[in-house]
Structure 1
Amino acid sequence: MYPYIRHDPPEDQRQANPDTVKRVRSAVADIVETERRRHRAEGLVHSWDLNREDLDKAAVSLGIPPVSDEEWGTILAARGKPDQPPPDHIVLDG
């Protein structure tokens, strides 16, 4: 096995482009803020115990599209009910 020999990068490679650093910081800040919003929204959905119909009405009133089937499945999975129908779905026997 060959021993690892540490080579320091040349000085010009150590200096990051300030514009690149600004863009990376901005992108990370956007990602963090998006995650915060998502967690707040999930918290509201869970604390208000919204069903799919109520959530869709809320979305429309806010001028955003209703949740997709995939998003609703994610909400149910976060509630710990991935295989169960939404709470407003009632199945009557016979």
Structure 2
Amino acid sequence: GMLAQAARRSTQVQWLTAPAEHLPFDDGSLDAVVTTSAFHWFNQPAALREFHRVLAPGGFAAVATLSPRQQLSGLPLRVLSANQL
């Protein structure tokens, strides 16, 4: 599958799957959260709360989507700092 392909190409990255609403990371442990072409499928309020929980101070979330269901902005890409989530 796609994760196996990614793991072969990027050996310095730990690849995993987890629901956006329940990330398996400690509070404040990440510098960035990135999602592309998937945010419109999430429970968006729950996912944003989870992004905020796992982001370190000064961290950011990058959300990219082309879905008309996207609720953050009319723009295809918007980068949010942790204090905007």
Does TM, scored on the shorter chain, surpass 0.5? no
Structure richer in strand, relative to its length:
2
TM-score (normalised: structure 2): 0.26
Higher RCO, Cα 8 Å, sep 6+ = 2
TM-score (normalised: structure 1): 0.24
Higher gyration radius (CA):
1
